[in-house]
Amino acid sequence: MKAKIITRSAVAVAVAVALSAGYVAGNHNVATPQVITPAQAAMMPAEAAAKTGIPDFSGLVETYGPAVVNISAKHVVKTAARRGMNGGANGGNPQLPIDPSDPFYQFFKHFYGNGVPGMGGDGNGNGPNAADTPSESLGSGFIVSSDGYILTNAHVVDGANVVTVKTTDKREYRAKVVGADKQSDVAVLKIDAKSLPVVKIGDPNGSKVGQWVVAIGSPYGFDNTVTSGIISAKSRSLPNENYTPFIQTDVPVNPGNSGGPLFNLQGEVIGINSMIYSQTGGFQGLSFAIPINEAIKVKDALIKTGHVDRGRLGVTVQGMNQTLAKSFGMQSANGALVSSVEPGGPAAKAGLEPGDVILSVNGLAVADSNALPAQVAGLPPGTTAKLQVWRDKGTKDLTVTVGALSDAKTASTGGADKSESASQDARLGVAVRPLTPEEKQSASLSRGLLVQQAGGAAESAGIQAGDVILAVNGQPVTTVQQLKTMVKAAGDSIALLIQRDDAQIFVPVDLG
């Protein structure tokens, strides 16, 4: 059945080509033939889109497709079985045919090796028996200099013993991994060649949500596959990916597309296709690309020094909302709210405090807490930066000497505490008591009030038993009476700084 579907699709393509050829043949006198240069050809899709509303990507593909390469990375791995992120034994790969008589069995085996899901492996060449077994992963990349420098994803070549690059004209090269940066997922390869076709680098900052974009890559090993879609969002922050403001698209991207270029309609690369969000292992409409300007910075650093230096402040931040903004006397919910400051870190030395809202770095506005890590990471360690923060219902300027990201330490808090009995605050809706000496030591705290019960406004805001209240509207809380006084004097909303497990967060509470 599946073989028939592919056949019918091939026929449909052939019919479409025939109709297209007939149309051209029947209208050959409409326009005078022109000589089109490669640069003009790359611009034609934008012109076609403007005239018809339907973009034509053919000129882009013909001009820059030859600069997109297939990457094969060979590894030696232990074949012990392991479970994937989704809890399945296949590591999130799609369920594939396991019957050797199925016509697709050999097809999938070609791409997955002996790790075809359902054959006792995990889809990555890893079988149930522990042994050294060679495996091969496929990815994409693109040539950025005519003398052989290539950009791809770090995860494509991670741990590879041999990396092979294949161009569209079937030439193959052994590639050297110049450097790989796991934080940004960017890697630089070098092949020994000259006069290679190259892509044109664009500016992702000039792109807009809703604009057409094109991906070229090798999904499941199908070389130079072209897919298209639109930009769905920009500056997207993903879990555990704090230093890359991703471009989100709905361009169909699948395993093997990783490391390939994302083009705009002018034929310029604006991103590197890096990952998808999927519950099946296949494309589900959410793909993410690394902005090319960020990748170029990493490339230059890797070529020059072999590593990437990133700045850090030594703070933990969280997002703002209107309730928090109102609690701090702010008109808008912009900026990154500091929930904890690392003792002795760069921010602490500069005078930054929990409850400060970082509004700008070196004059560049901080839109939200997702934007701040990338802005700070781009600052060279050892340099000074100007921070504008919101504190005590006004702005304050601070100067910080940027630290190095590798020096990161766990944040903690400090202060004083007085012991007293448990008490309940009716307006806030919590029953609290001071921490015992043992609890302070266990939580590495020297102050705070333990929440024993939560109801009313506090429960609605998400406060729960076991939380430790550290501050109200940025002011440290050391006694139960102090908490009562602060809540009584507050307006319609307050911001509580709490510690839950090992994290400190501000929680907005509506008292109205």
- Euclidean distance between CA atoms 352 and 388, whole angstroms: 10
Could you tell me what percentage of the chain is helix, strand and coil, using 3-state DSSP and rounding each to the nearest 5?
25, 35, 40
What are 181's strand-pairing partners?
186
Which residue's structure tokens are 């792109």? 207
End-to-end Cα distance, the chain: 63
Number of neighbours of residue 12 by Cβ within 10 angstroms: 10
- Euclidean distance between CA atoms 465 and 457, whole angstroms: 14
443 residue type, one letter? A
Q: What are phi and psi for residue 5, nearest 5 degrees?
A: -60, -45
What's the Cα-to-Cα distance from 253 to each of 217, 282, 287, rounded to whole Å? 9, 8, 6
- Euclidean distance between CA atoms 189 and 62, whole angstroms: 24
Which residue's structure tokens are 């944040």? 411
The CB-side HSE value for 330 (13 A sphere, CA atoms) comes to 26
Helix (H, G, I), strand (E, B) or coil at 342: coil
Number of neighbours of residue 280 by Cβ within 10 angstroms: 11
Residues classed as catalytic? 155, 185, 258
Q: With contact defined as beta carbons under 8 Å apart, do 190 and 196 qualify?
A: no
What's the Cα-to-Cα distance from 112 to each of 118, 256, 275, 363, rounded to whole Å? 11, 12, 19, 50
CA–CA–CA angle 147, 153, 159 (5° rounding): 100
Residue 309 has what DSSP assignment? -
Element (H, E) at 439: helix 437-443
Pairing of strands 132-143, 149-152: antiparallel
